[in-house]
Amino acid sequence: MLLSEVKLGQQDLAPTSAGHGPVQTIAVTSGKGGVGKTNIAVNLALVLAKEGCRTMLLDADYGMANVDVLLGLKSKVNLLDVLSGKHQLEDIIIHGPDDLLIVPASSGIRQLPSFGIQECAGIVRAFSEFDQTIDCLVIDTATGISESVASFCAASNEVLVIVNNEPASVHDSITLIKLLHSEYAIARFHVVANMVLTAREGNELFRKLLTLLADEHNVLVSYAGYVPDDDALRKAVAHHKAVIEAYPRSRSGMALKNLAKRINNWPRPDCPRGHLEFFVERLLQHKKVDMEELS
Ligand SMILES: Nc1ncnc2c1ncn2[C@@H]1O[C@H](COP(=O)(O)OP(=O)(O)OP(=O)(O)O)[C@@H](O)[C@H]1O
Ligand SMILES: [Mg+2]
């Protein structure tokens, strides 16, 4: 069964969080590993939080705990404790800088298999019970094109595909986009060119992707921007810091701020899509209020 086939039932409509407005949900993904997903997800979430957007960052790369490693965090409890019913989502959240809420994946056990469909559905539902106002959820997905990566993308409103200018990254991004469209009915993607030398190289990389996707007539792919290859980012990673914290005026730091500003202007979702998605009951509530105002 696909997550997009998990239909809404009464049990999904958790009443607790319905009083809050719609949440922008953005899955950060890539076909190939090591292209910069975690750095982009963490820095975007931090910039959004600094801009006053109430932001949550979900580390959905369970086996590797990427976000914890990048930010030098340690947590004793994690999403498995939420899935087993031992803890509520709010019990495992780490409060980061600028009130960024981080949902960690760390378990201390490095060899865990990635989440299956049922676990992904359980995680998406756990967010429904979270009873605080949130404006944006950023999801750092695992490496590769797995069921769990696809499920988290399908449960999000927007999908950000990170790509590098190397053949394997371009090839795997195309494969990912085609698969997410054909199997999960995702039709809208945003591309970030990472580790490019110039803005022009970023543009050309995006054009290359568009050419390779020319046959996908029902897929909308737009360019979100680029992040330059930058030693400051590598240095920040070595010190377990996000580059926008360690070197806010670096080339990559500035590019990430611009990217976050653009993303912050994307329209929020305003109606549910009919399958399991993050914070769906807030959308249902929003829709109901709209209908009541019209009548
Ligand atoms: N813009 C950049 N400039 C310089 N180096 C970068 C940049 N982006 C990423 N890197 C380098 O690439 C490494 C991998 O980045 P990151 O961990 O964010 O990738 P990932 O896609 O999340 O990897 P994984 O697939 O393993 O989860 C970083 O540790 C850093 O050294
Ligand atoms: Mg990562």
pLDDT tens for the chain, 295 residues long, are 554 454 444 334 344 455 578 899 999 999 999 999 999 999 999 999 999 999 999 999 876 767 887 888 888 888 888 888 899 999 999 999 899 999 988 655 555 566 788 888 889 989 988 888 899 999 999 988 888 899 999 999 999 999 999 999 999 999 999 999 999 999 999 999 999 999 999 999 999 999 999 999 999 999 999 999 999 999 999 999 999 999 999 999 999 999 999 999 999 887 787 778 898 878 777 666 666 666 6
**pLDDT value at residue 222:** 97
**pLDDT value at residue 268:** 87
**CA 128 – CA 98 distance, rounded (Å):** 23
Reported as type and span, the H/E element at residue 21 is: none
Take atom 15 of ligand 1 and give the residue whose Cα is closest.
36
Q: Calculate how far, in angstroms, residue 36's C-alpha sits from the geometric centre of ligand 1.
A: 3
Torsional class of 96: left (φ above 0), alpha (ψ -120 to 50), beta (otherwise): beta
Question: In the chain, how many H helices and how many E strands?
Answer: 12, 8
SS3 (DSSP) at 18: coil
Is residue 79 a contact partner of residue 62, using CB atoms and an 8 Å limit? yes
E strands, 72-187, where? 94-95, 101-103, 136-140, 158-163
User: Which residues does ligand 1 sit against, CB inside 6 Å?
Assistant: 30, 33-39, 61, 66, 143, 194-195, 227, 229-230, 233-234, 237, 252
Place of tokens 């995006």: 206
Is residue 122 a contact partner of residue 73, using CB atoms and an 8 Å limit? no
221: Cα within 13 Å, side-chain hemisphere: 27
- Tokens, residue 135: 């404006």
**pLDDT value at residue 169:** 97
Atom of ligand 1 nearest to the CA of 140: 22
Q: Looking at the DSSP assignment, which residues form a beta bridge with residue 27? A: 139, 159
Atom of ligand 1 nearest to the CA of 41: 18
Pairing of strands 101-103, 94-95: antiparallel
- Tokens, residue 294: 């019209």
Atom of ligand 1 nearest to the CA of 40: 18
Is residue 163 a contact partner of residue 191, using CB atoms and an 8 Å limit? yes
Test site for ligand 1: of 35, 59, 70, 148, most ligand atoms within 8 A of the Cβ: 35
Nearest to 81 by CA among 54, 108, 100, 55: 108
**CA 147 – CA 119 distance, rounded (Å):** 11
Atom of ligand 1 nearest to the CA of 144: 25
**CA 58 – CA 68 distance, rounded (Å):** 11
CATH number of 21-265: 3.40.50.300
**pLDDT value at residue 17:** 54
Q: Calculate how far, in angstroms, residue 27's C-alpha sits from the geometric centre of ligand 1.
A: 16
**pLDDT value at residue 281:** 78
Q: Looking at the DSSP assignment, which residues form a beta bridge with residue 295? A: none
Neighbours of ion ligand 2 (CB under 5 A): 37-38, 66
Q: Calculate how far, in angstroms, residue 8's C-alpha sits from the geometric centre of ligand 2.
A: 30
Is residue 252 a contact partner of residue 228, using CB atoms and an 8 Å limit? yes
Ligand nearest to the CA of 165: 1
Q: Calculate how far, in angstroms, residue 67's C-alpha sits from the geometric centre of ligand 1.
A: 12
**pLDDT value at residue 143:** 86
Q: Calculate how far, in angstroms, residue 18's C-alpha sits from the geometric centre of ligand 1.
A: 36
Is residue 192 a contact partner of residue 160, using CB atoms and an 8 Å limit? yes
Pairing of strands 24-29, 136-140: parallel
Atom of ligand 1 nearest to the CA of 35: 21
E strands, 86-211, where? 94-95, 101-103, 136-140, 158-163, 188-196
Q: Looking at the DSSP assignment, which residues form a beta bridge with residue 223? A: 191
SS3 (DSSP) at 94: strand
Q: Pseudo-torsion of CA 211, 217, 222, 228, nearest 10°?
A: -30
Ligand nearest to the CA of 36: 1
The domain segmentation of the chain, as residue ranges, is 21-265
Indicate if the alpha-carbon torsion angle 138, 73, 91, 80 is positive or negative.
positive
**CA 285 – CA 14 distance, rounded (Å):** 11
